[in-house]
């Protein structure tokens, strides 16, 4: 066994049940334990069995689980991992700790509605998906602010690991994670956005050398358009729809995207670029926005002290979904889920939206290729599309906008050019995105070994 090793247990060449195992000189940590956005087969949860049943298993300690941020693809597998490894120390930023509670409650609901395939997962695997796990995690988790060093040492290790969180600019509480053990340095980007958004400033990662970097690659296959142009474009779209007496539906993740889009819309209203239409937003979004507001001074944001609660919003009432005022006069509806998953508010509202030719749906976030949101994006106006178990004619307008919370390729490469890692591991992206980042990085960092890891395989470094 080498002194350092790693394995990608989820999120290799996809955005899945993200989980990275890092071994350094007798210490072992997991970074993130996600739930796959769509799949409920063997890829639903991190492949922890690859470690537990590995021929090296006795040399592979797992001491801690460190969470980069609270999106479900990074934390939805936490109860599953804690069931297998109840001794784990749990670390995150303070905001992630607070958001975790809301997100895991939602994961528990989500798994009842869309359960794991019983061919791969049995009841024992999932017995921790109940509300008592939330209290357990609250007691277990140790939370740190950005740039405060803390350490961890495995019982039998000679040297411990120093750990530090850096603002990743992706959502509230998101962190890049720096790890250092006996002079060997590791950086894991988590999900990162280097450019500023409307609510949050960009990432502030250390510009120093690391021996190994784990980088996400979500956006690396394409060149996202300039943000300012997208803001102008969505303003024009909202104006056109509302002038034709229609409403705009914006499917959004409750965490991150909703707060960002609310801020974009509110800024446009304050500037007079769009009319002051009623804004409808959903229940879980409100719970998360409250946590955003709790940290409005203590975590960097574009306008310190700005609160999401300052934006006038009307709650979406689930029981009265199809009778909402957005069907009576022009309005903006910000509704979960972002990928329009079956049974969610955005999925249900879309049925009615499809019928109205003067209505519009603005897709603003990443779509898993198998999600209904992706089906909608690739559909044609005035044609039938598959929607759940039925087919519906889509009359309304559909437009895609890029308000991404993930870095463009050049910005990752720019940061890597400061870091000059000996090894770069690329994950959290579709194959073409990972390959494109690998190819362009190799052009400027000739001395860096680049790995596109195989799912579940242990690599020595
Ligand atoms: Zn994320
Ligand atoms: Zn992610």
pLDDT at residue 432, rounded to an integer: 96
CB 253, CB 71: distance < 8 Å: yes
pLDDT in tens, 121-159: 988 989 999 989 999 999 999 999 999 999 999 988 999
SS3 186: strand
Q: Which ligand is nearest to the CA of 173?
A: 1
Cα–Cα dist 151/155, whole Å = 13
pLDDT in tens, 326-384: 999 999 999 999 999 988 999 999 999 999 999 999 999 888 888 999 999 999 999 99
pLDDT at residue 355, rounded to an integer: 97
DSSP 329: S
**198 CA to centre of ligand 1 in angstroms:** 17
SS3 52: helix
Residue 1 has pLDDT above 70, yes or no: no
Could you give phi then psi for residue 343, rounded to 5 degrees?
A: 85, -10
**427 CA to centre of ligand 2 in angstroms:** 10
Please check whether residues 114 and 233 belong to one and the same domain: no
- Domain C-terminal end among 353, 372, 400: 400
CB atoms within 10 A of CB 227: 17
**Closest residue by Cα to residue 260 from 429, 408, 404, 442:** 404
Which value, to the nearest 10 degrees, does the dihedral of the CA atoms of residues 23, 29, 33, 39 take?
Answer: 10
Please check whether residues 381 and 298 belong to one and the same domain: yes
DSSP for 162-228? Answer: EEEEEE-SSSTT-EEEEEEETTEEEEE--S---S--SSSPPP----S--SEEEEE-TTTTS-PPPHH
pTM above threshold 0.75: yes
Please check whether residues 327 and 371 belong to one and the same domain: yes
**71 CA to centre of ligand 1 in angstroms:** 5
**74 CA to centre of ligand 2 in angstroms:** 6
pLDDT above 70 covers a percentage of the chain that reads: 100
Q: Which conformational region is residue 231 in: left (phi greater than 0), alpha (psi within -120 to 50 degrees), or beta?
A: alpha
Structural domain that includes position 111: 4-222+405-460
pLDDT at residue 404, rounded to an integer: 93
pLDDT at residue 56, rounded to an integer: 76
Please check whether residues 255 and 365 belong to one and the same domain: yes
pLDDT in tens, 389-420: 999 999 999 999 999 999 999 999 999 999 99
**356 CA to centre of ligand 2 in angstroms:** 34
Cα–Cα dist 64/153, whole Å = 10
Q: Which conformational region is residue 110 in: left (phi greater than 0), alpha (psi within -120 to 50 degrees), or beta?
A: alpha
pLDDT at residue 328, rounded to an integer: 97
CB atoms within 10 A of CB 357: 14
Of 79 and 59, the one with more pLDDT = 79
pLDDT at residue 104, rounded to an integer: 97
Please check whether residues 108 and 138 belong to one and the same domain: yes
For the domain that residue 336 is a member of, what is the CATH number? 3.40.50.10890
pLDDT at residue 368, rounded to an integer: 84
pLDDT in tens, 281-303: 987 999 999 999 999 999 999 99
pLDDT in tens, 436-450: 999 999 999 999 999
Mean pLDDT (the chain, rounded)? 95
Please check whether residues 348 and 453 belong to one and the same domain: no
Please check whether residues 440 and 344 belong to one and the same domain: no
**18 CA to centre of ligand 2 in angstroms:** 7
Q: Which ligand is nearest to the CA of 256?
A: 1
**259 CA to centre of ligand 1 in angstroms:** 14
Please check whether residues 196 and 255 belong to one and the same domain: no
| Mean pLDDT to the nearest integer, 41-45 | 96
Please check whether residues 264 and 145 belong to one and the same domain: no
pLDDT at residue 110, rounded to an integer: 87
Please check whether residues 53 and 96 belong to one and the same domain: yes
Residue 304 has pLDDT above 70, yes or no: yes
**Closest residue by Cα to residue 203 from 174, 229, 224, 241:** 174
pLDDT in tens, 171-230: 999 999 999 999 999 999 999 999 999 999 999 999 999 999 999 999 999 999 999 999
- Domain C-terminal end among 383, 400, 417: 400
If one counts the domains in the chain, the total is 2
**22 CA to centre of ligand 2 in angstroms:** 18
Order of strands, sheet of 449-451, starting from the edge strand that comes earlier in the sequence: 150-152, 161-167, 175-181, 184-188, 212-216, 423-427, 449-451
**33 CA to centre of ligand 1 in angstroms:** 12
For the domain that residue 144 is a member of, what is the CATH number? 3.60.15.10
pLDDT at residue 283, rounded to an integer: 77
Please check whether residues 113 and 255 belong to one and the same domain: no
**Closest residue by Cα to residue 22 from 60, 57, 56:** 60
Please check whether residues 267 and 297 belong to one and the same domain: yes
**190 CA to centre of ligand 1 in angstroms:** 8
């Amino acid at each position: 066994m080498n002194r350092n090793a790693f394995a990608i247990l989820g999120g290799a060449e996809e955005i899945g049940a993200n989980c990275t195992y890092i071994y350094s000189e007798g210490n072992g940590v997991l970074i993130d334990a996600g739930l796959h956005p769509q799949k409920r087969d063997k890829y639903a949860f991190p492949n922890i069995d690859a470690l537990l049943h590995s021929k090296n298993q006795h040399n592979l300690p797992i001491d801690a689980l460190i969470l980069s941020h609270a999106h479900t693809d990074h934390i939805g597998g936490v109860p599953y991992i804690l069931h297998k490894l109840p001794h784990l120390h749990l670390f995150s930023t303070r905001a992630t700790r607070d958001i975790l509670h809301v997100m895991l409650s939602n994961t528990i609901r989500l798994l009842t509605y869309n359960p794991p395939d019983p061919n791969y997962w049995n009841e024992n695997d999932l017995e921790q998906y109940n509300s008592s796990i939330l209290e357990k995690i609250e007691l277990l988790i140790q939370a740190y602010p950005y740039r405060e060093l803390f350490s961890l040492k495995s019982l039998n290790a000679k040297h411990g690991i120093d750990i530090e969180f850096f603002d990743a600019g992706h959502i509230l509480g998101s962190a890049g994670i720096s790890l250092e053990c006996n002079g060997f340095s590791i950086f894991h980007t988590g999900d990162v956005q280097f450019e500023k958004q409307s609510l949050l400033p960009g990432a502030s990662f250390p510009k120093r050398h690391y021996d190994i970097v784990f980088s996400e690659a979500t956006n690396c296959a394409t060149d996202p358009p300039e943000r300012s142009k997208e803001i102008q474009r969505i303003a024009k779209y909202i104006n056109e729809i509302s002038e034709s007496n229609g409403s705009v539906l914006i499917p959004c993740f409750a965490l991150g995207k909703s707060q960002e889009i609310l801020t974009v819309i509110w800024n446009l209203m304050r500037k007079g670029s769009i009319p002051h239409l009623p804004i409808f937003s959903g229940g879980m979004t409100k719970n998360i926005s409250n946590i955003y507001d709790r940290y409005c001074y203590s975590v960097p944001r574009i306008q310190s002290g700005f609160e999401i609660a300052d934006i006038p919003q009307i709650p979406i009432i689930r029981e009265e979904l199809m009778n909402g005022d957005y069907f009576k006069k022009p309005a903006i509806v910000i509704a979960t889920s972002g990928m329009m998953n079956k049974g969610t508010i955005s999925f249900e509202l879309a049925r009615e939206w499809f019928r109205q030719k003067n209505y519009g749906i603005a897709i603003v976030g990443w779509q898993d290729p198998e999600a209904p949101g992706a089906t909608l994006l690739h559909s044609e106006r005035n044609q039938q599309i598959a929607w759940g178990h039925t087919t519906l004619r889509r009359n309304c307008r559909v437009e895609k906008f890029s308000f991404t919370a993930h870095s463009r390729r050049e910005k990752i490469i720019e940061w890597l050019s400061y870091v000059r890692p000996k090894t770069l591991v690329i994950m959290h992206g579709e194959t073409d995105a990972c390959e494109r980042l690998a190819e362009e990085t190799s052009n400027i960092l000739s001395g860096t070994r680049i790995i596109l890891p195989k799912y579940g395989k242990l690599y020595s470094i």
